[in-house]
Amino acid sequence: MPSLLTKTAPLALVAALSVAPMIAPTVALAVPAGGYGDLVEQVSPAVVFIEVTGTANANAQLLQGMPDALRKRFEQQMPQGTPQQGLGSGFIVSDSGEIVTNHHVVAGAQQVRVTLADGRAFDAEVIGSDAATDIALIKITADVDLPFVSFGTSDEMRVGDEVVAMGNPFGLSSTVTSGIISAKARNINSGPYDEFIQTDAAINRGNSGGPLFNNAGEVIGVNTAILSPGGGSVGIGFAVPSDLVQDIVDDLSDDGTVTRGWLGVQIRPMSDEVAQVLGLDAPEGAVIEAVSKDSPAAKAGLKAGDIIVSFAGKEITELQDLTRSVARTAPDEDADVTVLRRGERIAVQVKIGTLAPQET
């Protein structure tokens, strides 16, 4: 049976809780002979279970942009017009009740119910959701400060580092699994900004939106998808890196939307033939196929046929490097761009525009 890339839950996935109020991890916890007990006790109060109620019609947006095999699988589970129940995971990131989860957990939701590790349950409000990165921010209101966890720096994590995943697979609350980082910056063709952390920690349906912790109890990823022939874990799971998640969450907390930079070009990879002509060992950069009229790229003098090899000081080796870098650049900010034009390197400065929501 061919492999299938799938989200970790049919409609929504459970969330994960972490550290107690005002407690931040300070020293990395070495994995003791007895396991991860100390770490789990530290962070588990902030991991939450998410239940979502919606309708198949309301969840139509969830199907947009999915691979055909995955979309058909979801459609079979969504008879039109009938109430749908979904489960997911999340984790509290502030004592005021802000919770991070996946977009596909809450997309099209009519009601979102959050249950804490201690059994208390709250109705949640969706503050904002970003389909492009599959990250959402929801909020609950309690009469006391809530336990929360902190983000770590995903860029500092190495392949081979140990990680712990928490969530509610198949509705089994507060499930803990461990493993290592198997790869970084993995592109699974799920969206324009793919740079997933790959892990062999067991992740299943219901883990979506749950946290991936380092040994210091910091969140370094949000568990989002698995590669699986039969729908269960085979040791290939993917998490959105925390460095990206923090940017999205900060943006969503302001006004519920995400603002991205816009360059205004259509791009394709460099071919092997072009690389040989230019005397390169391997293809690199992003080849501009077309420049949108009145776009930032057009105003800066970029042309079809130019090859972008550097953007804002970052080397561009593949297309996703450029899309991610442009998206993270603030609108109206100047960015230094290096292009190859007829074999000559040319420096160009571009004032980045604002990506319209429909273009995302």
Q: Are residue 175 and residue 228 in the same domain, yes or no?
A: yes
With bands split at pLDDT 50, 70 and 90, how would you rate the model's confidence at 55?
low
Rounded to an integer, the average pLDDT of 247-260 is 92
HSE-up of residue 180 (Cα within 13 Å, Cβ side): 6
Exactly one of 18, 89, 134, 310 is catalytic; name it. Answer: 134
- 220 vs 150: CA distance, rounded Å: 9
The one catalytic residue in 208, 228, 242, 325 is 208
Pair (66, 176) in one structural domain: yes
Quick one: pLDDT at residue 14? 30
Query: Average of pLDDT values for 163-171?
Result: 94
> In this model, does residue 30 exceed pLDDT 50?
yes
Residue 167 · residue 117 · CB < 8 Å: no
Tell me: do 292 and 144 sit in the same domain.
Answer: no
Q: What percent of the chain has pLDDT above 90?
A: 61
pLDDT of residue 340: 92
pLDDT at 279: 81
pLDDT mean over 274-289: 86
Which of 44, 89, 103, 104 is an active site residue? 104
Whether pLDDT at 65 is above 80: no
What is the total count of domains within the chain? Answer: 2
136's tokens: 């959402």
Give the CA dihedral 350, 353, 358, 360, nearest 10 degrees.
50
pLDDT on residue 33: 62
Calculate mean pLDDT across residues 267-272: 90
Residue 300: give its domain's CATH number. Answer: 2.30.42.10
The CATH number linked to 86 is 2.40.10.120
206 and 335 in a single domain? The answer is no
Q: Which residue range is the domain that position 58 belongs to? A: 4-255
Q: What is the pLDDT of residues 77-116, one digit of tens each?
A: 454 555 567 899 999 999 999 999 999 999 989 999 999 9
Residues 14 and 95 in one domain: yes
CA nearest neighbour of 305 among 266, 248, 263, 256: 266
- 121 with 158, same domain? yes
Residue 355, pLDDT above cutoff 50 = yes
User: If pLDDT is split at 50, 70 and 90, which confidence band does 143 have?
Assistant: confident
Secondary structure (3-state) at 118: coil
One domain for residues 231 and 125: yes
Calculate the CA dihedral of residues 125, 136, 17, 177 and round it to 10 degrees.
140
Q: What whole-number distance in Å separates Cα of residue 192 and Cα of residue 326? A: 11
Q: Are residues 172 and 41 in the same domain?
A: yes
Same domain, 181 and 279: no
Known active-site residue 325: no
pLDDT of residue 222: 97
| Final residue in a domain of this structure, among 255, 271, 296 | 255
Please state the φ and ψ torsions of residue 44, each to the nearest 5 degrees: -60, -30
Find the range with the poorest average confidence among 277-286, 319-328, 344-353: 277-286
Q: What is the rounded average pLDDT for all residues in the chain? A: 84
244 pLDDT band (50/70/90 cuts)? Answer: very high
Q: Is 191 exposed, middle or buried (0-12, 13-18, 19+ CB in 10 A)?
A: middle
Provide the whole-model pTM. Answer: 0.79
Domain boundary among 191, 222, 255: 255
Q: State in Å, rounded, how far the first CA of the chain is from the last one.
A: 33
Do 245 and 329 have their domain in common?
Answer: no
pLDDT at 16: 32
Does the pLDDT of residue 225 top 60, yes or no?
yes
Q: Is residue 221 domain-shared with residue 333, that is, in the same domain?
A: no
Please give the average per-residue pLDDT across 335-358, as a whole number.
90
- Provide the pLDDT confidence category of residue 194 given band limits of 50, 70 and 90: confident
Is 247 annotated in the active site? no
Say yes or no: 201 and 318 in one domain: no
Q: Residue 103 catalytic?
A: no
Distance from C-alpha of 111 to C-alpha of 132, rounded to nearest angstrom: 22
pLDDT at 75: 56
Domain boundary among 234, 255, 276: 255
